[in-house]
Amino acid sequence: MTKSNSPYKMPIKVTPYDHQQKAYEFTLGLFGLFPSAVRSPGAALLMEMGTGKTLTTIGVAGTLFQRGLIKRLLIVAPLSITGVWREEFEKFADFPYILTVLTGSGEKKKAALKSIYGSGLQVVVINYESCWRLEKELLHWQPDMIAGDEGHKIKTHNTSASKALHRLGAKAKYRILLTGTPVTNKAMDIFSQYKFLNPAIYGQSFYTFRSKYFNMVGYGQHTPVMKGDMEEEFTRRMHSVAFRATKAECLDLPETTDIIRTVELEPSAMKLYKSLLDESIAQLNNGEEVTTTNVLTRLLRLSQLTGGFISGDDGKKVQQVSKAKLEVLEDIVDSMQQEGRKLVIIARFVPEIQAICKLLDKKGIQHSLIMGGVKDRDLQVSRFQNDPEVTVFLGQVATAGMGITLTAASTMVFYSVDYSMSNYEQTRARIHRAGQKHPCTYIHLVADKTVDSKVMTALKNKADFAKSLVDDWRNGKNPFE
């Protein structure tokens, strides 16, 4: 990372990139800790995925805690990424903290909230749905600072989640909104997000805001159009408390960044996974010859399950047993759509591909597809590369890993992978090649406490995965854990 000449050191375990340091100083300037022409209780970190808005938020919170300005931090995030905050704090926070992710039933969440104690910064992470349901308890907990992750989740001003964040934000001393961009389908989406951050910018009333900045046109006058003479003021107000960072602008970013997104399988799916695991071990223990082929065959069903599906013993009847990875992927897709950037999704198994296609179709997202049986490969690639309406490319590892260029995207999600290092590296190279203008981000969906982690470790270390499994078995270790 590029060292900064700034005298203001972030309390994190790594050296921040220049743009992260600038975002940190911008935010604390708004909060009154550093020189700044503007003061605001809220700051918007409009930083694209992969540019480090989570790290920056941790640095800001740590500084406020060290200076005695906050004791309790509430982080509200989509359900699929609440666990990411635990991992990021462990990786980056260089100050004492106690972090609790509120999970389980409502009563369990309430009990966990009441039991938090300790001398470090108290950090509570909760999803948007639970936040409004536990608003009373969270108000009683009295967070000094609130961070709204993927802040576009509160773009609609009159939803329960938005109203709760508005009320909670009004009681907190500091607020941060994290999103790739706050302006989604229409500029009116900015109102709710900025009402949470700082109501002084656009006011408390949605209808007054709408009347000031927009003309309502079309049939029934339901379509808002920005008033021409208000565009400059609208934009100036928005950026007065916002720090913008795009991958294209952050010249200090590395060429590639790998992100592990840990996914928790549902209890029912995890129970089934453990049953299959025990069955696999038992069959090896019962005298089945331990060869790479046999071990990988046993591993195949475990890998299928982490992606959400399982086939019968005949290999034909397929049953969906988990939606955990699909839900995490949906949030990633939503974020990329909000940022207006293209995305490549890679998966191994046909049922996964079919489920992802169904998700994209449901959302009305045009996409290209290459998998076994698709014959118009060149057309699929051309549409993704050249048609601005085709924003997602979906490919199967075995058939989309070679011979194509997908540089219209700089972010790739590995929904699942096979065990071939060659396939993995070839697939990564689809976006990281000549013609790519931006740093590349690779997001890996890894089901927690499953063989997914072992596969990723082998790929990271460029190990012969099949051989290492057999060696583990012969050394008395469980090859699947």
Confirm whether 118 is domain-assigned. yes
Task: Single out the residue in 190, 224, 245 at which a domain terminates.
Answer: 245
Note whether 222 and 85 are same-domain residues: yes
Task: Single out the residue in 222, 245, 268 at which a domain terminates.
Answer: 245
Note whether 172 and 193 are same-domain residues: yes
Confirm whether 8 is domain-assigned. no
CATH number at residue 52: 3.40.50.10810
Pair of tokens at residue 96: 């004492």
CA distances from 36 to 31, 201, 417, 429, 460 (A): 9, 17, 48, 43, 44
pLDDT digits (tens, 9 = 90+) for 160-176: 999 999 999 999 999 99
In 10 A of CB 466, how many CB atoms?
A: 18
Q: Residue-wise pLDDT tens for the chain (481 aa)?
A: 544 455 578 999 999 999 999 999 999 999 999 888 999 999 999 998 888 999 999 999 999 999 999 999 999 998 888 988 999 999 999 999 999 999 999 999 999 999 998 889 999 999 999 999 999 999 999 999 999 998 988 988 999 999 999 999 999 999 999 998 766 557 888 999 999 999 999 999 999 999 999 998 888 778 888 999 999 999 999 999 999 998 888 878 788 889 999 999 999 999 999 998 888 778 777 766 667 777 777 788 889 999 999 987 666 688 999 999 999 999 999 989 988 899 999 999 999 999 999 999 999 999 999 998 888 989 999 999 999 999 999 999 888 877 789 999 999 999 999 888 888 888 998 998 888 888 899 999 999 999 898 888 888 877 677 677 777 777 767 766 6
Task: Single out the residue in 223, 245, 267 at which a domain terminates.
Answer: 245
Q: Looking at residue 19, what DSSP letter applies?
A: H
Confirm whether 41 is domain-assigned. yes
Note whether 141 and 113 are same-domain residues: yes
Q: Which residues pair with 93 in a beta bridge?
A: 12
Confirm whether 475 is domain-assigned. yes
Pair of tokens at residue 197: 């951050």
Per the structure, the count of domains in the chain is 2
Note whether 202 and 291 are same-domain residues: no
The CA R_g of the chain, rounded to the nearest whole Å, is 24
Characterize the bridge pairing of strands 174-179 and 145-149: parallel
Note whether 238 and 306 are same-domain residues: no
- What is the pLDDT, as a whole number, of residue 3? 46
Note whether 355 and 468 are same-domain residues: yes
pLDDT digits (tens, 9 = 90+) for 198-214: 999 999 999 999 999 99
Confirm whether 196 is domain-assigned. yes
One-letter amino acid for residue 63 of the chain? T
Note whether 481 and 430 are same-domain residues: yes
Q: Are 307 and 374 in contact (CB under 8 A)?
A: no
One-letter amino acid for residue 120 of the chain? G
- What is the pLDDT, as a whole number, of residue 294? 73
Note whether 229 and 285 are same-domain residues: no
Q: Is 258 helix (H, G, I), strand (E, B) or coil?
A: strand
Note whether 296 and 160 are same-domain residues: no
Note whether 425 and 278 are same-domain residues: yes
Note whether 150 and 61 are same-domain residues: yes
Classify the C-alpha dihedral 376-379-385-389 as positive or negative.
negative
Pair of tokens at residue 383: 């549409």
CATH number at residue 332: 3.40.50.300
Distance CA 323, CA 325 (A): 6
Q: Is 32 helix (H, G, I), strand (E, B) or coil?
A: coil
Note whether 307 and 433 are same-domain residues: yes
Confirm whether 10 is domain-assigned. no
Distance CA 97, CA 71 (A): 10
CA dihedral 280→281→287→288, nearest 10 degrees, is: 30
- What is the pLDDT, as a whole number, of residue 313? 65
pLDDT digits (tens, 9 = 90+) for 304-314: 999 999 987 66
Q: Domain span at residue 309?
A: 254-481
- What is the pLDDT, as a whole number, of residue 319? 92
First to last CA, the chain: 34
